[in-house]
Amino acid sequence: MASMVADGLRQGKDFLGPGLPERKDRMTADSFNAVEIDLAALRENYANIQAVAGAGVRVMAVVKADAYGHGMVAAARSLWEAGARTFGVAEIEEGIALRQAGVGGEIVILLGILPAAAPEIVRHDLTPVLFDLETVAELSRRAVAAQKEVDVHLKVDVGMGRLGIAPEQAVVFASAIAGLPGLRLAGLLSHLPMADQPEAAAATAGQLALFNRVLAQVAALAPADRFVHIANSAGLLYHPASRFNMVRAGISLYGCYPDGAAVPVAGRPVLRPVMRFVSRVLQVKELPAGAGISYGHTFVTSRPTRLAVLPVGYDDGYLRRLSNRAVVLIRGQRMPICGRVCMNACMADITDLPDAATVKPGDEVVLMGCQGDEEIDADQVAAWLETISYEVLCLFGNRNRRIYRN
């Protein structure tokens, strides 16, 4: 198995294990576009996050959503090398894929499960988040039948308004788990909805206080070595009181700050972007003044213009909203996208590039990442798209061929 995984990674593929397909590779070996994943940066970010969390705090490496577009199996294996021993995924199929790829440690199913999934939880030694008594009972029955003990985490909703039980139900659920054979209440968790907003610090403090009251109520019903976790990346970085003995690092692992900050400030770890999105110049052409560019002629040249046509568009995750907003890096300089982004192409105005006359087909273009002394980070792309870095990474990473470095 290990050799099969290694072979897959060497080929730039995401190996999911026997009986499961590889991630559909949208690009061939001749594709112009790729995302480059720097695994050394990923491991460095993990180490820096662990240093901030402290020696007594377990860092759960969140690798759901195909590791935010970075490739779940490759990311998890690299993070294991860095010391990660707990991984967070959304759905059970992700947990099974990690197990079949040889990933050890604790794999927490953050979205929880339905009762029908209980046999697979037991079979693959996964740790589900629970918030439903029917699921609790079925999981106990399956664990007993298999003569196993299954670790579970109980989720309490202290203000997210999403998954989890009400705080007043915590004792009932914890008692049910503690009273059933085959189950071990290995964790208690919640989620902070506004930890990345400084103006909401008081609300976050109130949610933490409520979580602490719940912990006190169920203290006698859970093992002494249980994990307690409520801190996402924002909680980890901005609210030290939320760290308890486990934190869930997601966006920070991949080199972005959850509040969109461009540079670290005192007390924050230095994070390096893990993903770089690159393309190539396909054609260079000259247009006169007064020429319309792309669909709808939303950009009309005001002077003789030199264009670089790029083979990347919304089919590659470079969305139409970037039209006449984004810039790309060519020869280490920021060049504006002009005209509407098409399905498989867009245009950059390189007229003001000092050596524009020497730009030729095949030259590297950086849509996100560094080139020379310039950088376009995920938060800047997110601002152009009117969204957040999380979505940008998933968008680019899951729609393009991945090349792994380091």
Residue with token string 């994990």: 227
- Looking at 148, 285, 295, 360, which residue is catalytic? 295
Name residues whose C-beta falls within 8 Å of residue 266's C-beta, 6 or more positions apart in sequence.
Answer: none
Distance of alpha carbon 334 from alpha carbon 396, whole angstroms: 20
Residues 6+ away with beta carbon under 8 Å from 224: none
β partners of residue 333: 330
DSSP structural state of residue 157: -
State yes or no: is 64 an active-site residue: yes
Which residues have C-beta within 8 Å of that of residue 348, sequence separation ≥ 6?
A: 307, 308, 310, 327, 328, 330, 335, 336, 337, 338, 365
Q: Half-sphere exposure of 33 toward its Cβ, with a 13 Å CA cutoff?
A: 23
Q: Are 289 and 302 in contact (CB under 8 A)?
A: yes
β-partners of residue 405 are 38
Looking up tokens 């294991």, which residue turns up? Answer: 80
Q: Which of 46, 64, 155, 404 is catalytic?
A: 64
For residues 388 and 369, give the distance between their C-alpha atoms in angstroms, rounded to a whole number: 16
296-303, Cβ contacts within 8 angstroms, sequence gap of 24 or more: 296/340, 297/339, 298/323, 298/324, 298/339, 298/340, 299/324, 299/338, 299/339, 303/351
**Catalytically annotated residues:** 64, 295
